[in-house]
Amino acid sequence: METVQKHKVKDQFERPVRDLRISVTDRCNFRCVYCMPREVFGPGYAFVPRAELLRLEEISRIAKVFAKNGVSKIRITGGEPLIRRDLEQLIEMIDDVDGIQDVSMTTNASLLTEDRARALRTAGLKRINISLDALDEKTFQKVNDVEFPVKKVLQGIENAEKVGFEQVKINAVIRSGFNEHSISQLAAYFRGTGMILRFIEFMDVGSTNRWKLEEVVSVRQMVDIIGAEFPIVPVSPNYRGEVAKRWRYLDGTGEIGFIASVTEPFCGDCSRARLSAVGMLYTCLFATSGFDLKALIREGCSDKALARHICSIWENRTDRYSELRGNVPEQASRSERVEMSHIGG
C-alpha cells in the first residue's frame, strides 16, 4: 500500500487528529445500566431507521478524508457493531484506505461466533476489544439487564483468540454498588492469558445512565485492590495520548490497563474524533452537539469541500470536558449530551 501524504490538522490546543471512531449502529442487544438503561431504551424507544444510517461508501469516503488529514487508526463501534450485517465489507473497504494502519472494533461479543470472528479477521480487522464487566452470572446479568449468560461472552472471547487477532483486550466498566467485587476476579482470570484486561472508571457519558461521582471507583482504588493480591508496577505508555495507563504484573504474567477519565483526565492529549451511525461528527465523548457530514455528502459535496469542512471543525476544537468537569453544573452539562450508544466509547 502506498504511503499517503497527510496534512497534519491540529485543534486550538495543538492536538492532532489521529483516531476516528465510527459507530455503525445505535442498536444493541444488551441494556447495560451504564450505557443503555432499560427504563430509557425500552420497547418503545425510537432507534434510527436503517435507511438513515450512513451507507458503506459514505463511511469509507469520510475515512479517506480523515486519513489524508492525520488519522491512521479507526475503531468500529456501536451500539453493538456486530448487529450490522455488512460489517465485514465495511472493514475491507476501510482497511484498503491509504494511510489507515490499524482497524479495530469494540463489541460485547454476544454474536461473535468463530465463523464471524474469522470473517472479520480475514476482512482486515486487526484488534478487538470485548466488554466484560463481571464473571459471576448474577452480576453480569444485573449489568447487561437482558439475562444474557456470561459463558456465551467467554465463548466469544475464546473465538477471538482462535482466529488470531493481533490483540484481544477485555474492557470492564466498574461502578460502585454493582461490580467492584469483580476487579480481583477478572484480574485473576485474565492474567497469564496474553490478553490485556482494562478497567474503566464509570463515566458521565450521555444523560440517561444516572451517573453519580460517589459511584466512581477510582483507578487508584482499583490499582490498590489488584496490587494487594497480584503486585503490579507502572509501565511507560506506548505512545503519546494513549488512553489507558499501563501496568504489568511483577511475576511476568502480563499487562493490565486502567482508564481514568474521571479522576485523572487525559484531555490534553486527546486525538480522537467520533462519527455516529447517521453521519454526525463529534469532537468529544461528552459533546452536546455534532456536525452533520451526511447532509453535506448527500447534497453533493466534493471531497475537497468535505475535507475543508472537517479540517475547519477540528481546527476550531477546544474540547476538554473531563478537565473542566468539576467546574460545570451537573444538570447543565448533561441535559443535551450525546448518548454513548450513538458514538461508542
Cα–chain-centroid distance for residue 96?
A: 22
| SS3 (DSSP) at 274 | strand
pLDDT tens-digit readout, 229-261:
999 999 998 887 788 999 999 999 999 999 998
Across 41-45, 69-73, 214-218, 282-286, which has the greatest mean pLDDT?
Answer: 69-73
State how far the Cα of 45 lies from the Cα of 337, in Å rounded to an integer. Answer: 17
Q: How far is residue 204's CA from residue 266's CA, in Å, rounded to a whole number?
A: 15
13 found inside a domain: no
* Per-residue model confidence (pLDDT) at position 34: 87
What pLDDT does 205 receive? 79
Bridge-based pairing state of the strands 127-131 and 73-77: unpaired
More confident residue, 332 or 37: 37
| Beta-bridge partners for 199 | 172, 258
User: Which of 39-48, 165-174, 270-279, 292-301 is the least confident region?
Assistant: 39-48
pLDDT of residue 158: 98
Residue 219 gets the label, from left (phi > 0), alpha (psi -120 to 50) or beta, of: alpha
Classify residue 177: in a domain, yes or no.
yes
- Residues 121 and 164: beta-carbon distance below 8 Å: yes
Contact 77, 21 (CB under 8 A): yes
Whether residue 151 has pLDDT greater than 90: yes
Residue 3 has pLDDT above 70, yes or no: no
| Percent of all residues in the chain with a pLDDT value above 90, rounded to a whole number | 76
Pair type for strands 19-23 and 272-275 = parallel
Q: Is residue 12 part of a domain?
A: no
Domain span at residue 89 reads: 19-343
% of the chain at pLDDT higher than 70: 95
Spacing of C-alpha 20 from chain mean position: 10
Instruction: Count, in order, helices (H) and strands (E) of the chain.
Output: 12, 12
Query: Which residues on neighbouring strands pair with residue 16, listed in sequence order?
Result: 10
Given a cut of 90, is residue 212 above it in pLDDT?
no
CATH number for position 90: 3.20.20.70
* 11 domain-assigned: no
Of residues 289 and 30, more confidence is placed in 30
State phi, psi for 122 to the nearest 5 degrees. Answer: -65, -35
pLDDT value at 4 more than 60: no
With contact defined as beta carbons under 8 Å apart, do 270 and 283 qualify?
no
Residue 109 · residue 130 · CB < 8 Å: yes
Q: What pLDDT is stored for residue 22 in this prediction? A: 98
Give residue-wise pLDDT tens across range 216-233: 999 999 999 999 999 999
* pLDDT-wise least confident of 48-52, 55-59, 73-77, 218-222: 48-52
3-state SS record for 203-233: CCCCCCCCCCHHHECCHHHHHHHHHHHCCEE
129 falls within a domain? yes
pLDDT of 344 strictly over 50: yes
Average pLDDT of the residues of the chain: 92
In a 3-state reduction of DSSP, which class is residue 151?
helix
Assigned domain for 270 exists: yes
Q: How far apart (Å, rounded) are the C-alpha atoms in residues 252 and 254?
A: 6
pLDDT of residue 5: 52
CA-CA distance, 139 to 136, in Å (whole number)?
Answer: 6
How would you classify residue 164: left for phi > 0, otherwise alpha for psi between -120 and 50, otherwise beta?
A: left
Residue 118 lies in a domain: yes
Q: Please determine, for residue 6, whether its predicted confidence score (pLDDT) is greater than 80.
A: no
Torsion over CA of 321, 322, 324 and 329, rounded to 10 degrees? 80
Domain count, the chain: 1
Contact 233/258 with Cβ under 8 angstroms? no
Do residues 112 and 160 lie in contact, with contact meaning Cβ atoms separated by under 8 Å? yes
- The pLDDT value recorded for residue 334 is 52
Any domain includes 276: yes
